[in-house]
Amino acid sequence: MNLRSFDLNLLVVLDALLDEAHVSRAADRLGLSQPAASAALQRCRHLFRDELLERGRGTMYLTPKAEALRAPLKSLLAGIVDLVAPPEIPLSEIHQSIRITTADYPALFVIPPLQRELQRSAPGIDVVIQPWHGADAARTALVDGTSDIAIAVLPPAEDDLHREELLTEHYRVAMRAGHPASGTFNLEEWLAYPHILVSGRGDTRTPVDAELAGRGLSRRVGLVVPNFQMVPGLLLGSDMIALLPSRILPDFTGLVSFPPPIPVAGFQLHLAWHRRRAKDAALRHVAGILSGLLR
């Protein structure tokens, strides 16, 4: 291939096309006309000998080849920006969106102070909190560039992801103040009332149930909800009991909590981003605030 005749701007357009999976939205994002974006798509199809975007029912889909191109294309464009080395922009003058994928647990107590600190230090940085679809999806989103930062329980990262431990959390048994079990709380009292279980996948069993089964015991899971944010209100209006991460309990009045009467494993929370973004000042600033808040 003759690189002297290759237009690198074509890769910028392709990056937007693969992100948006929509010609008009990609054109708007880049300030191009729709015909110009369509022409660039045709040139990319010829270059990569693949359709890249295929029409479906009222939408467009990335081909397997296009999906495979996303991550290396993001890395290549980030490398070009680093090579050119643009002048460093003061935080107060940066205008950029940072997309954060996180479960509701850390979001409950970290997003309000993050927003306040950004308003003070970098008012041009906007934050998008993305829906949580699990740790595997969060990792994939960092690699393909559809998310900028992940706050999650993540396994050890490959070389392309930066991952740092923020905190180790433990669970406490929570119930409303004045609950019948609160006066003499013990294992028997804990199991005498229905439990609220938090699961984004609708699970009705957790390692807690396996631990109980090993002791010849069981509990009744009376309600499964997709996030922790729903639990305090449900506890206040019932005699149900729940296991909640310790750090969110101070935010809710009217609840009392106790150490679990059996061993319940906690979890480590991590902050991660792609290493190709190491010189992104806005990302590093947001990541630094999050790290400070969560540590």
- Domain boundaries defined on the chain: 3-84, 92-166+268-294, 171-264
Task: Give 5's pLDDT tier (boundaries 50, 70, 90).
Answer: low
Closest by CA to 151, choosing from 48, 287, 7, 11, is: 287
Whether 141 and 274 have beta carbons less than 8 Å apart is answered as no
Neighbouring-strand partners of residue 125: 96
Domain 92-166+268-294 class, CATH top level: alpha beta
Which residue has 């209100």 as its token pair? Answer: 233
Q: Give CA–CA dist 222/241, Å, rounded.
A: 9
CATH number of 171-264: 3.40.190.10
Q: Which pLDDT score is estimated for 103?
A: 83
User: Tell me: the pLDDT tens digits for 92-149?
Assistant: 899 999 999 998 888 878 899 999 999 999 999 999 999 888 888 999 999 999 999 9
Q: Give CA–CA dist 295/129, Å, rounded.
A: 20
- Fold identical between 92-166+268-294 and 171-264? yes
**What's the topology of domain 3-84?**
Arc Repressor Mutant, subunit A (1.10.10)
Residue 209 has pLDDT above 60, yes or no: yes
Helical ranges in the chain per DSSP H: 9-20, 23-30, 34-48, 64-84, 104-121, 135-144, 187-191, 207-214, 231-236, 281-294
Section 52-72 average pLDDT:
88
> Nearest 5°: CA angle at 64, between 59 and 65?
110
Q: Give CA–CA dist 198/108, Å, rounded.
A: 15
